[in-house]
Structure 1
Amino acid sequence: MATPTKAALEARVEQLAAENQRLQSLVDDQANGVVHDWLISADAFATEVPNIHETFSWRVTRPLRDARTVQLKVAEIGLIPTMRIVTARLTRSDRRGRR
């Protein structure tokens, strides 16, 4: 078997470099497409969440969600520590004029 010439090796290196560049371009295109799709979904989600929070059903069920959160916290850390947390949060929200 004959040893390839320097010119043949250089030509092969150029071919491989071109192939590498082509494949890298494909990978970049795929990655950019995925990132673009993700950004579109994230943007849609970011605009949809406030819309959900403004619905009547979301506002009506808020006290139920709050009660369930307190119930789970009592089971986790006990009644007295939970009462302290709830009292602190209610006091803080009263100062801000929010509920």
Structure 2
Amino acid sequence: MQRKCHRCDRLYTPTDHNTWCPDCMAGKPIVPRKTAKQVAKENRERMEQAYKYARYCVQCGKRFYTNKANKMICGEWECEEKQQKQLLQARRTKERALRGL
């Protein structure tokens, strides 16, 4: 059975009742954990390398990444549904205006 080290959070196979792994018992330095800001920065850099364009959604204003030059809406379900409703409403008002003429 493996156990998580209380000092470095790595899994190790215990040989006795100690709660530290053998490396921590030997006094080896531990690698500090990444902060949320560091992880977010790495994710942002990875996304910028993978995609050509970084855009802001016209519905919610959030930043999203895409390879399509004409994409204006992020992939969120709410944004797409809102856009469809607006397009449908605009189409209906246009049809009503044409019928009235």
Same fold per superposition (TM over 0.5): no
Range of TM-score over shorter length = under 0.3
Higher RCO, Cα 8 Å, sep 6+:
2
Structure label with greater radius of gyration:
1
Q: Whose strand fraction is larger, Structure 1's or Structure 2's?
A: 2
Q: Whose helix fraction is larger, Structure 1's or Structure 2's?
A: 1
What is the TM-score with the length of structure 1 in the denominator? Answer: 0.28
